[in-house]
Structure 1
Amino acid sequence: MSKIIILTDYRDTFYSTARTQHGLCTMDVARVVRSFDDAGLRPQVMRYADLDLSADLHGVPVLYTSSEDRGLQYKSWIEDLVLAMEAAGARTIPSFRFLRAHHNKVMMEALRTQLFPKEAARLHTYSFGTYEELEAADLVGSWPKVIKPASGAGSTGVASAMNRGELLRAARGLSWSGSLDEAAREYGRRLLRRRRHHPRSLHRQKFVVQDLIPGMAGDFKVLRMGSRYYTLYRRNRPGDFRASGSGDFNFHDTAGVDQEALLDYAEYVSDRLATPLASLDIGFDGTDFHLFEFQCLHFGTVTAEKSTHYYARSHGTWQRVPEDCDIEAVFCQAIVDYLRA
């Protein structure tokens, strides 16, 4: 019987669900354990703080949760431990780079550019570590553009800019990282040193800039959980270009888009990611599909849990399979199939 480690956070939460348990949005860890037991695995549940990095972890599958804490201080600690486990030879699911990309649009865009270079080029995506770097940049592509903070869910902080002036104003506020004391000291240095001074940026919150694809009334959320694909259409917020966070979901409307073409695209993307779990934000401009964002762990599961069916490829065609989703069972089946592939 093979061992599999399940790491929970300090509140004993693991991933997330559309329901709450004891006031927390977490999977039912006891049900996860039973599902793995039934599959012939030997799950070992522990908190991150109880992890023994001196133990032999070589080849051991490790499932772990992430965090979206404000400032990402706790997530930073999780990243330290997961990277250390990978260095020790553990089979972390997913790999560390996808943890780093969780709640981090700069890393996500870097991976998207590497994995899907042609598609990334169509959106002319840039990332910046300071406002001054954007100010000095010669941007190509069309207007309007979208600016996104590195962290944030539900389109928090995401804005559009019709021209360079609007973009710079939005970036200046979004990237602010200083304090009044730091700003005062920097202003004093500039007065005293003048030409000899190399200014320190007060705008060091990283961010992403990319072309806005106009004319879309919404986008698609696709969850891949093993061989199952769940879809929903998200309409934009009223008078807004953003669909994420709108809460206006439809599990049956395809907005005139061919369902099989959408699933083909989602399969292509998730196969390229090579993870058993993926949450994809996909847009369609009337001609091409666009991958806007992706996550491979700790994503929302409404798309699966509220659905009455899923799609699976069978003998080369897509089949619609009626099913009320048991999220813990589906999660575990995806992991088991991945480990046995």
Structure 2
Amino acid sequence: MAQALEETGLRVFPNAATARSFDDKLAQARLFAAAGVPTPHSWCFLDAREAHDFADRAAYPLVFKLRGGAGSGNVRKVCSAREAHGLIRQMFGRGMRASAVGLAAAASTGRAAGYPRRSAREWAAAAGRALRRIIRPHREHGYALFQEFMPGCDHDWRVVVIGERAFAYRRSVRPDDFRASGSGLIDIPDATGIPWDIVDQAFSLSCHWGFQAMAFDFLRHPDWGLKVIEMCYVFGTVGLHMCPGYFQPDGTWVAGQFHAEELIFDDLVATLS
């Protein structure tokens, strides 16, 4: 509907550019590759035989992903060819249920991120939405998506670009896990603790593709540098609300606390003048 309205000349959020790869890691992998963006190498197979051949010769561990999911949902570490073959058979057979973020995970994330202020009614509503997705999840099938495993990272960087503003913070990996997304373990540095090259890369990608608002996830390691993992225009705002300010594209720091929803709305209204 938003894209149809945009075709009539109306201003909409999200616009077609912002929404085109939403909740589709396969589309993002192809988009990153086409633009030469530094990312972990991805392999996507639409043919079961090709996928099994790859599993026989691949170097492990790998990361297996479904196309959709948030908070590290539908992402798992694959440590052997046997495990990879099993996932491939499932994806080209009965398929795999696309899980929602579990209730326990949502609760632990909320506590870590400072959500206890939510009322009982809000928690009940959130639990009901998650439960409906758990009871009636759809099945993904007909493809296999693997990604290069990047070892030695205990955190990632989330950079949220809204117009000409970039908010950044660190997210630590869950205990005994390799995933930072959805952990709720958020560290908010000041301006001097944020690597500018990460912010600059986020600005560059957002400008290149014409995004109105986008959250980018980055990994960095001394051995293999900076990598873009994923991006999504639908993002949690707890970490952003905690940020002490944002960067502008020229490196200027603007101090203060801001709400993403208001900034997105202000930018949309500004396009009407």
The two structures share one fold, judged by TM-score above 0.5: yes
What is the aligned partner in structure 2 of residue 308 from structure 1?
244
1:177 aligns with 2:94: yes
Change over 3 Å in CA distance of 1:265–1:338 after alignment to 2: farther
What is the aligned partner in structure 2 of residue 217 from structure 1?
154
Instruction: Give the whole-Å Cα distance in 1 for the aligned partners of 2:22 and 2:271.
Output: 21
Q: Deviations over 1:147-199 (max 9, x none)?
A: 101111111121112332222234444565369xxxxxxxxxxxxxxxxxxxx
CA apart distance, 1:211: 0.8
Change over 3 Å in CA distance of 1:307–1:298 after alignment to 2: same
Matches within 5 A, 1:144-159: 144-159=61-76
Tell me the secondary structure at the aligned position of residue 155 of structure 1.
coil
- RMSD of aligned C-alpha atoms? 3.3
Bigger mean CA deviation after superposition, 134-143 or 231-240: 134-143
Instruction: Give the whole-Å Cα distance in 2 for the aligned partners of 1:266 and 1:140.
Output: 34
Instruction: Give the whole-Å Cα distance in 2 for the aligned partners of 1:277 and 1:151.
Output: 19
Instruction: Give the whole-Å Cα distance in 1 for the aligned partners of 2:185 and 2:84.
Output: 28
What is the aligned partner in structure 2 of residue 105 from structure 1?
25
1:238 aligns with 2:194: no
1:60 aligns with 2:22: no
Contact map agreement 1:131 1:204 (CA 8 A) in 2: no
Instruction: Give the whole-Å Cα distance in 2 for the aligned partners of 1:168 and 1:335.
Output: 47
Tell me the secondary structure at the aligned position of residue 101 of structure 1.
coil
Contact map agreement 1:130 1:203 (CA 8 A) in 2: no
Instruction: Give the whole-Å Cα distance in 2 for the aligned partners of 1:290 and 1:111.
Output: 14
Instruction: Give the whole-Å Cα distance in 2 for the aligned partners of 1:157 and 1:56.
Output: 32
1:115 aligns with 2:35: yes
Change over 3 Å in CA distance of 1:152–1:337 after alignment to 2: same
Letter of the structure 2 residue corresponding to residue 124 of structure 1? H
Instruction: Give the whole-Å Cα distance in 2 for the aligned partners of 1:170 and 1:111.
Output: 25
Contact map agreement 2:46 2:143 (CA 8 A) in 1: yes
1:290 aligns with 2:227: yes
Matches within 5 A, 1:140-289: 142-173=59-90, 176-177=93-94, 204-252=141-189, 259-286=195-222, 287-289=224-226
Larger relative contact order (Cα-Cα within 8 Å, sequence gap ≥ 6): 2
Change over 3 Å in CA distance of 1:208–1:276 after alignment to 2: same
Q: Under a length normalisation based on structure 2, what TM-score does the superposition of the two structures give?
A: 0.71
1:135 aligns with 2:135: no
Letter of the structure 1 residue corresponding to residue 166 of structure 2? Y
Q: Deviations over 1:203-236 (max 9, x none)?
A: 8343421110110111011100011111110110
- Give unpaired runs (5+ residues) of structure 1: 1-6, 8-47, 65-92, 180-201
Contact map agreement 1:131 1:203 (CA 8 A) in 2: no
Contact map agreement 2:6 2:12 (CA 8 A) in 1: no
1:327 aligns with 2:247: no
Q: Deviations over 1:228-248 (max 9, x none)?
A: 111110110111111111111
Contact map agreement 1:226 1:338 (CA 8 A) in 2: no
% same residue: 23
Contact map agreement 1:276 1:338 (CA 8 A) in 2: no
Q: Deviations over 1:113-159 (max 9, x none)?
A: 21235x24xx3311123544411337877432111011111111211
Contact map agreement 2:159 2:167 (CA 8 A) in 1: yes
Instruction: Give the whole-Å Cα distance in 1 for the aligned partners of 2:169 and 2:160.
Output: 9
CA apart distance, 1:265: 2.0
What is the aligned partner in structure 1 of residue 112 from structure 2?
none
Letter of the structure 2 residue corresponding to residue 167 of structure 1? A
Change over 3 Å in CA distance of 1:136–1:250 after alignment to 2: same
Instruction: Give the whole-Å Cα distance in 2 for the aligned partners of 1:276 and 1:268.
Output: 13
Instruction: Give the whole-Å Cα distance in 1 for the aligned partners of 2:67 and 2:227.
Output: 20
CA apart distance, 1:56: 10
Instruction: Give the whole-Å Cα distance in 2 for the aligned partners of 1:101 and 1:163.
Output: 30
Change over 3 Å in CA distance of 1:226–1:139 after alignment to 2: farther
Letter of the structure 1 residue corresponding to residue 235 of structure 2? F
Instruction: Give the whole-Å Cα distance in 1 for the aligned partners of 2:169 and 2:54.
Output: 37
